[in-house]
Amino acid sequence: MAALQPLDDTARPGAGGVPGDAVTPEPPGRVRRGRSGRRTRARRRGAAFWLAVAWLVTVAVCALAAEWLPVPDPNVPDVTRRFDPPNPDNLLGADALGRDQLSRVVHAARVSLVVSVSAVTIGMVVGGTLGTAVGYLRGRSERLVMATVDVMAAFPGLVLLLAVLAFVGRSLTVISLVIGLLSIPIYARVARANTLAVAQREFVHAAHTMGARRSRILFREIVPNVVPAVAAFALVAMGLVIVIEGSLALLGLSIEPPDPTWGGMIAASKPNLDRAPHTALVPSAAMFLTVLSLNFVGDTLRRSFDVKDAGL
Amino acid sequence: MRQALRRLPTMAATLLVVSFLTFLLTGLLPGDPAVQILGPEGANDPEAVAAVRADLRLDDPLPARYAGWLGDALTGDLGRSYRTGQPVAEAIGERLPVTVEVGTLAVVLALAVAIPLGTFSAFRAGGPADRVITGTSFGLLAVPNFMMAILLIWILAETLGWLPATGWVRLTDDPVGNLRTAIMPALALATGELAVYTRLLRADMITTLQQDSITMARAKGMPTARILFRHALRPSSFSLMTVVGLQVGAIIGGSVVIETLFALPGVGRLLVDSILQRDLIMVQGVALVIAISFVVINFVVDLLYTLLDPRIRHGRPATA
Amino acid sequence: MGLEPTRRARAGTRLVWALVAAGLIAAGCGGDDDSGSAGDTTGAESDISEQGDPVYGGSITVGLEAETDEWLPGNGSFANAGTSVAYAIYDPLMRRDADGEMQPYLAESIEPNDDLTEWTLTLRPGVQFHDGTPLNAEALKTVFDDYLKAPGTNTAGALTDVEMVIVDDLTVTYQLPNPNSAWPDQLGLAVGWPFSPTAAAAAGEDAGSQPVGTGPFVFDSWERDNRLVVKKNPDYWQEGLPYLDEIVFRPIPDEDTRISSLTTGDIDVLQTLRQSSGVRVRDLDGVDSYEQLGNTTGVNIFNTTKPPLDDVRVREALARAVDQEQIIEIQGGTGVVPPSTQIFNEDDPYWSEAVADAWPGYDADAAGELIDEYVNDPARSDGKAPGEPVTFRYDCPPDPSLVDMAQLYQSFWGQVGVEVELRQVEQATHISEAISGDYDAKCFRAGLDRDPYPTLNDAFTADSAINFTRFTDPAIDADLEALAASSDLEERQALVEEISLIVNENFPMTYHGSTLSVLGARDVVKNLDGWSFPDGAEGSGTPGATTMWGFVWTTE
C-alpha cells in the first residue's frame, strides 16, 4: 500500500474505494455487478461491519476523551518500569521510558484522528467542491480545473511533503495541511466522476425538463447524491493518512515528542524488538485495526452509495 | 495509437509545469543556498557569498534561473551536489537501477500471486476459498509496508537468518546475491500491491465470467482452466494494467521508507537524505526524475491500453 | 582544484570537520579521533576470542555508521566512520600510543624548538604513494599549501598563519604563529594524512572520490551510500603488512540493521558509538567486542547569551534537576558508562577529582528553588512577568535513543517547573544553529580525545567560531595561553583543572555519560586492537571504534 502517495493509490476514476476494489471505468452498457457480488455485499453488512464501526467509535472516544479516561499520564516517564511487560498497573506494558503503553496508544489516537480528519476535510471540501462544480458545469472551467488537477497529481507530492516538514517544521498543522493539499486532486476526480454519473440520471433530467434552475439542481439533486460517495471514499483515505503519518514517523519527520503517535511509537520500538516486542505490537495492532476498520466501513458504505450500484 | 500519441503535447506540457513547480518549491524553501553551502562561518564573508550566488545564478530573476536550470537539465546536467560535489545526474544514475529493480520485482511478485488468486477467487466467487482470499487481501491492505518490512527483517533475517537484513549487491556483481538483497524490500512493497491487484482482478473477472461468450464456452464443455486463462483473463486485465501504472506513484512513495529501512542505495533514500541535509539541487533533480517517470509510465500504460483493447477508441475514461 | 563547484561542495561540510577537529561533535554524528585513553576503563570491557597467529589473505566487510562525503583530507568530513576508512588508505603522520602520547607513525620523528613555535618533522625514506609518487618534503608541502590551506577547505582554519618550510628532501618544519605544545595532535588528524599531490592534481574535481595515499590498502572503487572497496597494497612500506587482501566498507546508518547484518554474517565488523548498541553487541554469540570508553561525553549545551539560559541560576537548576543515572539507564548504558562530571573520563590524565566534587548532584528541590528565584525575579532576563514559567526549546537529532533521552530531560525539567519544547533537528541544521547561536539548548557530544588545549580553546574562547555556548572568561583565556606554552604534564593538569572548575561553576553544559565506542567483529576477524608503531611501541587500540586495518587478519 502506498506509504506516502495519497494521490494515486485510490485515485481510480469513477468512484473511490478501497484500493483494488472494482471501481474501474465501465463502458456504458456493461452490467456492473453480478449476483454473487450482491450476495457478498449483503453478507458483509453483518457482524463484521458493526465490529469495525465499534472499533472506530472506540478510537474516536479515546481521541476525544483521552484525558478523562482512567489511564496514567502518557508522557510521564518512570525509568524503573522500563520495558515492563503487561501487568496489572500497565495493562499493555511500558515503553523504553517506562511510560504506560495503554495510555500512550489511547492518546496517540488523537493525533491519528486529528491528522486524518483535517487532511481529509481539506481534500474533501476543496477537491470535492471543485470536482462537483466542474462536473456539473462542464465546459472550459472543467477542462481548466481537470488539467490543473492532472498536473497536481503528477507533481511529486512526496517531495513537497518531506521538504516542507524538514524545512518548515514538524507539526500537526503542517502535516495535515500538506497531506490535505496533496489529496485535493483525488477528491476532485472522485467527485467529478460521481457528478457526471449522477447528472445522467432520470431525476436530474426530469428536473431539467421541468425547468429547475441549475443551481437548484446542483444543490438539491446532485450534491446530496455525490456527498455520500465522496464521504465513503474519505473514510478509506483516512486510513491512508494514518499510514502516511506512520511512514513519516519512521523517517523521523512526524510530530515532535513527547506526544505519542502510533507511527512514532512503532519507530521508537524498532531498536527494542528483541527484548520488548510488546512495544512494537501494541501500536502496530492499533494502527492495523483502525486502518482495517476504516477500509471496511468505507468500502461497505461506498457500495451502498455508489451511484452505479444504486439501480440505474 | 494515434489517439495516444495525440496526448504527447499534453504530456510535455504537464512535465514542463511540473518541472517549474519543482523548481519553485526548492526555490521557495527557507534559507539562502549560498549560506547553506558556505555555512554560518563562511557566510560572514560577503565576497564568498556573492561568488557562490553568482555561480548558482541566484541573483537572476526566477524565470531566467528556471530557464537556465531547464536548459542544463535538457542536456543532462542537473548540477553538482552542494554536499558531496557529485554530479546530480550521476548520483541519480547510480541509484535509479536499485529503485527500478526493487519496484519491478515488487510488481512482478504481486502479479504472480494476484493473477492466479484473483482468477481463482472469481471463479469460486462466494465459496470458502474466495472468502479466505478476499478476507486476507482485505487484511493485507491494512498492513503498512513499513510494518511488513519490520516484520520481514525480524523473521527472515534476524530470527531465521535466511536473508541479509540490509544492503545491496549489484546485479552485475553477483546475480544471486542481488536477488537475496532485493527480495525482502520487494516483498514489503509487494504485499499491499498484491492485495490491490487480487481484488481488482477478482471483481473484473466476475463481470467477465458472466458474459455470454464465457457462458457459451462453458456450455460447450471447454476445460475450466482454458476458459479462465485463455478467454476470461485478457478482457479482465485492462483495468489491472491501468492500476499497475497508477501504482507507480505508490511504489515510489513506498520505496522512500523501504529503502531507508533496508539501507538500499536507491533514489528514495537519496531523496530523504538530500532533503534532510538540505542538498536542494539534489532534491530538485530527484523530484524531476520522479515526476518524469510517473508521467512517462502512465503514458506508456495508456499506449498499451489503447493498443490492446480494441474497444477503447477515445482514450480511456480513466483520464476523465 | 580551486574550481568553483568542488570548493562549493567542500565548504558545505567544513563545519562538521571543524567540530571533529575540536573534538566537539553533535551527538549522533560520531565523535572522536585518536583516543588518549587506552585499555579498559570503568565500564568498557572487551570480550575477545583467542587470536592465534596471523593469516594472510581473505576479505572482510565492515559496517560503518555513516557515509563520508569525500575522501580528500581538507575536503572530506571525517567523523569516526570516515576516519576508520581513512586509516586503510592513508597513514597518519602521528598517532597516539597506549600511554596517550603522540608518537610518529608515518613520520620518522618530530621535534619542537624551545618555545614550541617550530616543529621539525622528518619523513621515512623510500615511502611511496599508491601511484608511485614518492612521499618527500616537496609532496608534503604541495599538499599543505595547495590543498590543506586552500581557501574553502575545512582545514584552512586550523592552519591559519602556519607555514611549512622545506629543510631537505625528507625534512620540513611547521612554523607556528604562537607556542603550541599540542601541535603533533593536529598531525594525527586529516592535516597529517599525506595524499599524492600528483594524483589529486590529475583527478581535479574528482579527487575526493579517488583517494591515493600511502596506506596499507589501495582505493579500488566507491559506490556512494553502498560500498567502498580497498585492495591490498603490495608495496606497503611496513614489511609484512597488510594481512588482508581486501576490505569492503559499507555505510549502514541504522543501528538495528547494522547489528542484524553482523548477526547474519553480511558484515564481519561493525562500529558503533551508541551505548545501547554496544551492550547488544556484547551479548552476541561468536562476536568479539572491542570496547573503548572514549574520552568524550554526552552533554547538553546551553546558549549562555540567550534568555532565559543566560541566567546562571536557570542553568544550574537544569543541571541539578536531572538524575544522570536515569539518563544513562534509558540509553542502555547502565553498568557500562559511568556518569560524567567533566569532559574527561576518569582514566584520563586531565580528569580531576576536585572538579568532580564541585559538580552538583541530583537535587530536584534545590533546582526548584533556583527556578523559583528566577521566576519571581522582577528583573528576570527573559522579560516575562514574575510568576510566568521558564520556557525554552531543546534540540536533538531524530535518532530513537536520543529522542528517548530528550523526552526524559523534558520530564526532569518539567518537574521543576520548566516548560521545555522538544524539537528534532537534522545534523546539518543542528550544527549550523549551534555555530550561529540560533538555539536555546541542544544535545551534543563534547570530546577531548585530543590534547585538551585545542578543544578547550575552541569551546570557551571569544574568537572561536565554534564556541557554541558562547561562554567565555578572562581567567580561562589566561589559562589557555599558559596551557599552549607548557609541555609539563603536571602544570598542564593544574591549568586544565582550573578551567574545568570555572566551566562547572557556570554551567554552560551538563553531562550525561561518557561515550562508549565499540568495534564488534565476528570472531574469525582478529587483531583489531593489536596494532603497533613501526618502532614496536603499542598503539592505542580501537579509539572511537577505529583501528589500523593493516594489522587485521581473518582466519576464514
Q: C248-281: per-residue pLDDT in tens?
A: 999 888 787 788 888 888 899 999 988 878 888 8
Evaluate whether C296 touches C516 at the Cβ level (below 8 Å): no
Per-chain mean pLDDT for chain C:
85
Count CB pairs under 8 A between chains A and B.
218
Interchain contact, A20 vs B125, CB within 8 Å = no
The fraction of chain C above a pLDDT of 90, given in percent, is: 50
Q: Does C424 touch chain B (CB under 8 A)?
A: no
Residue C191 grid cell: 592535516
Rg (CA), chain A: 22
List all residues of chain B from 116 to 145 with a beta carbon under 8 Å from chain A. 125-126, 134, 137-139, 141-145
Q: What is the pTM of this model?
A: 0.83
**Grid coordinates given for A221:** 439533486
pLDDT at B237: 77
With a cut of 50, say whether residue B17 has pLDDT above it.
yes
CB contact under 8 A, A9 and B250: yes
- B-C C-beta contacts closer than 8 Å: 124
- Model pLDDT, residue C6: 32
Task: Give the per-residue pLDDT at C494.
Answer: 93
Q: What is the pLDDT averaged over residues C529-545?
A: 89
Calculate helix-pair angle for C4-11, B33-42, nearest 10 degrees. 60
Pairing mode, if any, of strands C525-526 and C107-112? unpaired
Check pLDDT > 70 for residue B127. Answer: yes
**What integer pLDDT is reported at residue B39 of this predicted model?**
58
| Chain A residues near residue C423 by CB distance under 8 angstroms | 169, 256
Query: What is d(CA C208, CA A3) in angstroms, rounded to the nearest whole number?
Result: 36
Instruction: Answer whether A77 touches C (CB < 8 Å).
Output: yes
Higher-scoring residue by pLDDT: C138, A163: C138
C436 touches chain B (CB under 8 A): yes
pLDDT for position C334: 80
How many whole angstroms separate alpha carbon A283 and alpha carbon A286? 5
- The answer to whether C255 faces chain A, any CB pair under 8 Å, is yes
B273 touches C at CB < 8 Å: yes
pLDDT at C29: 35
Cell of A241: 493518512
Q: Tens of pLDDT along C463-476?
A: 887 889 999 999 99
Residue B2 pLDDT level (bands cut at 50, 70, 90): low
How many contacts (CB atoms, under 8 Å) link A and C? Answer: 53
| pLDDT for residue C95 | 93
Cβ–Cβ contact C208 with B under 8 A: yes
8-state DSSP, A256: P
What whole-number distance in Å separates Cα of residue C402 and Cα of residue C277? 13
Q: What is the mean pLDDT of residues B75-102?
A: 86
Per DSSP (E only), the strands in C113-260 are 118-123, 163-168, 171-175, 217-223, 227-232, 246-251
Q: Which residue has the higher pLDDT, B215 or C14?
A: B215
Q: Residue A14 — left, alpha, or beta (φ > 0 → left; ψ -120 to 50 → alpha)?
A: left
Question: What part of B 42-61 touches C (C-beta under 8 Å)?
Answer: 42, 48, 51-52, 55
What CA–CA distances, in Å, run from B306 to B4, B8, B295, B297? 7, 14, 17, 14
For chain C, helix (H) and strand (E) counts, in that order, are 17, 19
Contact C225, C171 (CB under 8 A): no
CA gap C545, C87 in Å, rounded: 12
Residue in the structure block whose three cell numbers are 523517517: A251
Highest mean pLDDT among A223-232, B50-59, B279-288, C543-552: C543-552
Q: Looking at residue A274, what DSSP letter applies?
A: T
Own/partner contacts of B267-272, CB < 8 Å, gap of 24 or more, are B267/B92, B267/B95, B267/B96, B267/B98, B267/B99, B268/B99, B269/B95, B269/C225, B270/B91, B270/B92, B270/B95, B270/C225, B271/A158, B271/A159, B271/A162, B272/A162, B272/A251
Instruction: Quote the pLDDT of residue B207.
Output: 83
* A8 touching chain B per CB within 8 A: yes
pLDDT of residue B37: 65
CA distance between the termini of chain A? 32
| The C-alpha cell that represents A7 in the structure block | 494521490
The CA-based diameter of chain B, rounded to the nearest angstrom, is 87
**A32 in contact with B at a CB cutoff of 8 Å?**
yes
Sign for the CA dihedral angle at C331, C332, C335, C337 comes to negative
Residue B77's pLDDT is what? 86
CB contact under 8 A, B260 and C428: no
The CA-to-CA distance between both ends of chain C, in Å, stands at 42
pLDDT > 80? residue A310: no
* Gap between the Cα atoms of C444 and A220, Å rounded: 63
Q: Is the pLDDT confidence value at B5 over 60? A: yes
CA-nearest residue to B206 within chain A is A34
| Long-range CB contacts for residues A215-222, cutoff 8 Å, separation at least 24 | A217/A136, A218/A132, A218/A133, A218/A136, A222/A132, A222/A136, A222/A195, A222/A198
User: What pLDDT score does C331 carry?
Assistant: 84
Q: What is the pLDDT of residue A186?
A: 87
Beta strands in C234-352 (DSSP E): 246-251, 269-272, 287-302
The pairs formed by C384-390 with CB atoms below 8 angstroms and a separation of 24 or more are C389/C417, C389/C418, C389/C419, C390/C308, C390/C314, C390/C417, C390/C418, C390/C419
Whether A312 shows a pLDDT value over 60: the answer reads: no
- Indicate yes or no: CB of A250 within 8 angstroms of CB of B147: no
Gap between the Cα atoms of A222 and A227, Å rounded? 9
Q: Which residue has the higher pLDDT, C23 or C497?
A: C497
Q: Is C451's pLDDT higher than 80?
A: yes
Q: What is the mean pLDDT of residues B155-174?
A: 79
Q: Confirm or reject contact between B82 and chain C (CB < 8 A).
A: yes
pLDDT at B25 over 80: no
List the one residue out of A312, A264, A295 whose CA is nearest residue A48. Answer: A295
Range C283-301 average pLDDT: 85
CA distances from B223 to B122, B214, B226, B228 (A): 16, 12, 5, 9
Per-residue model confidence as pLDDT tens digits over A99-145: 999 999 999 999 889 999 999 999 999 999 999 999 888 888 888 88
Q: What is the mean pLDDT of residues A201-217?
A: 85
pLDDT of A16 over the 50 cut? no
> Residues C85, C63: contact at Cβ < 8 Å?
no
For residue C426, give the 3-state DSSP assignment: coil
Q: What is the mean pLDDT of residues C181-203?
A: 91
> b vs e for C371-380, b when ≥16 Cβ sit within 10 Å of the residue's Cβ?
beebbeeeeb
Cα–Cα distance measured from residue B234 to residue A178, given in angstroms and rounded to the nearest whole number: 40
Q: What is the largest CA-CA distance in chain C?
A: 74
Q: What is the pLDDT of residue B32?
A: 67
Q: Which of C281, C332, C328 is nearest to C519 (CA)?
A: C281
**Exposure of C515 in the CB half-sphere (CA atoms within 13 A):** 34
CA-nearest of B177, B190, B186, B184 to B158 is B184
At residue A87, does pLDDT exceed 80? Answer: yes
Q: Is the pLDDT of residue A287 over 70?
A: yes
Q: Which of A166-175, B78-87, C105-114 has the lowest mean pLDDT?
A: B78-87
Q: Is the pLDDT of residue B280 over 70?
A: yes
What are the CA-CA distances from residue C508 to residues B125, C309, C437, C459, C473 (Å)?
A: 71, 9, 13, 10, 12
N-term to C-term CA, chain B? 18
State the alpha helices, DSSP H only, in C36-173.
80-89, 137-142
Q: Does C70 touch chain A (CB under 8 A)?
A: no
Nearest-Cα distance to chain C for B162, in Å, is 8
pLDDT tens-digit profile of C313-360? 999 999 999 999 999 988 888 878 888 898 888 878 888 999 999 999
List alpha helices for C486-524, DSSP H: 489-506
Nearest partner of C195 among C176, C215, C217, C220, judged by Cα: C215
Confidence of residue C445 (pLDDT cuts 50, 70, 90): confident
Per-residue pLDDT tens digits for C9-68: 333 333 443 444 333 444 333 333 333 333 333 466 777 787 888 999 999 999 998 888
Lowest-confidence region among B58-62, B109-113, C134-138 = B58-62
- pLDDT mean over C297-314: 92
What are the strands of the beta sheet with C118-123, ordered from one edge? C107-112, C118-123, C171-175, C163-168
On whether any CB of chain B is under 8 Å from the CB of C432, the answer is yes
In C72-115, which ranges are E strands?
Answer: 94-96, 102-104, 107-112
Decide if A150 touches B, using CB distance below 8 A.
Answer: yes
- Give the separation between CA A244 and CA A233, rounded to whole angstroms: 17
Q: Which residues does chain B have within 8 Å of residue C28's beta carbon, measured at their own beta carbons?
A: none
What mean pLDDT value characterizes chain A?
80
Q: Which of residues 191-250 of B touch A (CB under 8 A)?
A: 191-193, 195-200, 203-204, 206-207, 210, 238-239, 242-243, 246-250
Q: Is the pLDDT at A30 greater than 70, yes or no?
A: no
Most confidently modeled range among A148-152, B217-221, C433-437: C433-437
pLDDT for res B309: 63
Which is more confidently placed, B248 or C246?
C246
Contacts C406 to A, Cβ<8 Å: 257
- Chain C neighbours (≥3 Cβ pairs under 8 A) are A, B
Q: Quick one: pLDDT at residue B42?
A: 58
Mean pLDDT computed over B29-43: 62
C-alpha cell read off for C441: 539548548
Q: Touching A: which chains, 3+ CB pairs < 8 A?
A: B, C
> Closest by alpha carbon to A193, among A1, A10, A5?
A10
User: Which residues of chain B have a CB within 8 Å of the CB of A243?
Assistant: 144
Contacts of B315 (CB under 8 A, 6+ apart): B3, B4, B7, B302, B306
Question: What pLDDT is recorded for position B41?
Answer: 54
Dihedral sign, Cα of residue B94, residue B100, residue B103, residue B108? negative
pLDDT of residue A6: 34
Best residue in C264, C284, C285, C287 for a mutation probing chain B (most B CBs within 10 Å):
C264
d(CA B29, CA C18): 27
Alpha helices, DSSP H, located in chain A: 6-9, 35-44, 47-65, 101-122, 128-137, 139-154, 157-168, 172-199, 202-209, 214-216, 223-250, 262-269, 278-305
